[in-house]
Amino acid sequence: MPGFNNLSDYCNAIDLGREHYSSFYKLPTVNITSMHWFDMSMSSGNPNPQYYAATPLIAQQMKRSVQGGLNHGPSVESLGYDKFLKRFLIMSNQQPSPMGLVLADYLLYYPFVDMGTNDTQVMDNSTTLPRYTTGEGVQMMLVSVAPGSGLAPTFQISYTNSAGVSGRTSRSARLGFATVNGSILSSETGLGTNAYPFVGLQDGDKGVRSVESVTLTSGTDVGLFALVLVRPLMTTCIYEATAPVEVNLLADQSILPQIYDDAFLNIMIQPQGTISGVRFTGEIETIWN
Amino acid sequence: MTNQEMIEILKGDTHGKVRLFNLFLERILAGGSLADNEVPIFETLKSELVTNQEQG
């Protein structure tokens, strides 16, 4: 049976070389609004940026083999193993800290949702979630891919939840004021209905399996955004620029998030001010058994 | 060109996509750069047109 039954299994996996180490860096070049969440997958660095570039409103899976993302090591499931997150480290060379951080498996996105219309925009779901296929724990975030003017129209999303029930409705919320690519528009807090940085789900729902449609219910803007389905794996915080933050998942959180083969891993951060020119460097280690 | 106009081109036929792609490419080859809102559109066009070319 894959996984770890005890600490001895964990140590044996290390002795047998079933672990992977890689480093990364990101160099965003945007002036982000303070306290607004930002999607680092669109920033330059290693791994290369990706731009949620595909045919409008047609679901696209996200995979390491296609879009890149953090290097978490080889595919192991065909060998009978499961892979887990072992250690994560990140630091920045400048303020603005403290910065909240979420490491997530980006699963699927709907490209180029238009902020310029109040018509209901219907999604094409010919493609489904590649991982976490029921949608349990899967959240929605709205990432700016063509900046608006900060007019912050309100929106509502119709989706199928993780129990397979269609026609569920997100909490009515407002798109964020940030006007740069990569800003997570669902991290706006003015109406108190976003789940920050994710879209607030209908009460009782534990995740999203697919999105049926998006409607801007009041107001419009000139921008475009991608609706991205992600599975958060780990949360931490960069406290200050003078010291890295390191998370050893077993020792510090007593849980090893599973990393599926071909997962697209990336990070989102919540800075206290502009991050233009701030260099983020880090390390990620995985282990399998 | 507005974002909405570019989206309509992305939803349209190959002819329009090729024109828009060439517009971006000419600007790049002349030493210019793409605006933030144009980069994802350009990447989409590049992906679709190169894929279509390879499959064709």
Q: Strand, helix or coil at B26?
A: helix
Q: Are strands A168-169 and A121-122 parallel, antiparallel or unpaired?
A: unpaired
Please state, in angstroms and rounded to a whole number, the distance separating the CA atoms of residues A63 and A66.
Answer: 5
What are A's interface residues with B at a Cβ cutoff of 8 A?
Answer: 51-56, 111-112, 114, 116-117, 145-147, 180-181, 222-224
> What is the end-to-end Cα distance of chain A in Å, rounded?
9
Å between B35 CA and nearest CA of chain A? 9
Q: Where does the pLDDT of residue B43 fall: very low under 50, low under 70, confident under 90, or very high at 90 and above?
A: very high
Enumerate residue ranges in chain A where pLDDT < 70.
1, 190-195
User: Residue A117's pLDDT is what?
Assistant: 95
The ipTM value here is 0.87
Is the predicted pLDDT of residue B55 greater than 60, yes or no? no
CB B7 to CB A114 under 8 A? yes
Does the structure show a pLDDT above 80 at B53? no
**Is B3 close to A222, i.e. CB distance below 8 A?**
yes
Q: Could you tell me which chain B residue has the CA closest to the CA of A182?
A: B36
Report pLDDT for A167: 97
- Which chain A residue has the Cα nearest residue B51? A54
Task: Tell me which residue of A40, A113, A4 sits closest to A282, measured CA to CA.
Answer: A40
Cα distance between residue A173 and residue A191, in whole Å: 6
Cα separation of A8 and A14, whole Å? 10
Residue B36, SS3 per DSSP: coil
* Cβ–Cβ < 8 Å for A172, A193: yes
Rounded to whole angstroms, how far apart are CA atoms A112 and A82? 35
- Angle, alpha carbons A183-A51-A130 (nearest 5°): 100
pLDDT at A191: 65
Interface test with B, best of A32, A115, A181 (most B CBs within 10 A): A181
Give residues with Cβ within 8 angstroms of A87, minimum separation 6.
Answer: A246, A247, A248, A249, A283, A284, A285
Give me the helix-helix angle, B3-10 and B14-29, nearest 10°.
Answer: 130
Provide the residue type at A283 as one letter. E
CB contact under 8 A, B4 and A56: no
Q: Say what the pTM is.
A: 0.94
Is the pLDDT confidence value at B54 over 80? no
